[in-house]
Structure 1
């Protein structure tokens, strides 16, 4: 039996969709969706999977690792070299929380809107 659903998009709340889309576009190389605007921006991903960014009034970023404002989800990105990827992403505007549970195995960074994401070694 074929699957009932196929994942087509992951959408993140944020205060500035175009700025957050630009960060992820520089970090991933994905192409901007041609209909992106100040309320909703998107990046066209591989195999039809896209990443979206939607404006939310009074946005509050997740507070990781504590849960005063839960992260609710996070993205993981495979990279060839953890150290090199971390340096480049920090240059692009990512943040690095003090709490790094397994820094030799993966890195936790935050995007410019505060969403945590992980860098993991590419297999």
Structure 2
């Protein structure tokens, strides 16, 4: 049995403040802010049609990476050409860098403002 063709068109992250998280990823990626974003659901559009959404969850509990007491919920990976420059920019935008770094010198794990871990790795 063959797998039917599927195209990934959207990824949504739970958070406490959708507009704040959308702004963080907008500034980090340059994706266009979705015009109908609001305090309950905000989004970004990538030129090829991929939608990155952020939905408000009451009593949201941020992941505690790498501890799995509150699981990751989602994990995004971004390729970058200059690891040091990307890290500095993302930290200035509000990301944090956890002590635990399993990626080595070709990438790093950062935490977005809502607590989701994500990776940046060299192209």
TM-score, with structure 1 as normaliser: 0.94
Instruction: Give how far 1:14 is off.
Output: 0.3
Instruction: Give how far 1:48 is off.
Output: 1.0
Q: Deviations over 1:68-116 (max 9, x none)?
A: 0010320000101111100110000001000001330210001000000
Q: Deviations over 1:24-75 (max 9, x none)?
A: 0000000000000000000001321110000000000111011000103200
RMSD, aligned CA: 1.3
Determine the structure 2 residue equivalent to 1:108. Answer: 109
Determine the structure 1 residue equivalent to 2:64. Answer: 63
Determine the structure 2 residue equivalent to 1:99. Answer: 100
What are structure 1's unaligned runs of at least 5 residues?
Answer: none
Q: Residues 73 and 116 of structure 2 are in contact (CA less than 8 Å); yes or no, is this contact kept in structure 1?
A: no
Distance 1:103 1:89 in 2: 18
Question: Structure 1 segments of 4 or more deviating over 2 A?
Answer: 1-5
What are structure 2's unaligned runs of at least 5 residues?
Answer: none
Q: Residues 13 and 74 of structure 2 are in contact (CA less than 8 Å); yes or no, is this contact kept in structure 1?
A: no
Instruction: Give how far 1:4 is off.
Output: 3.5
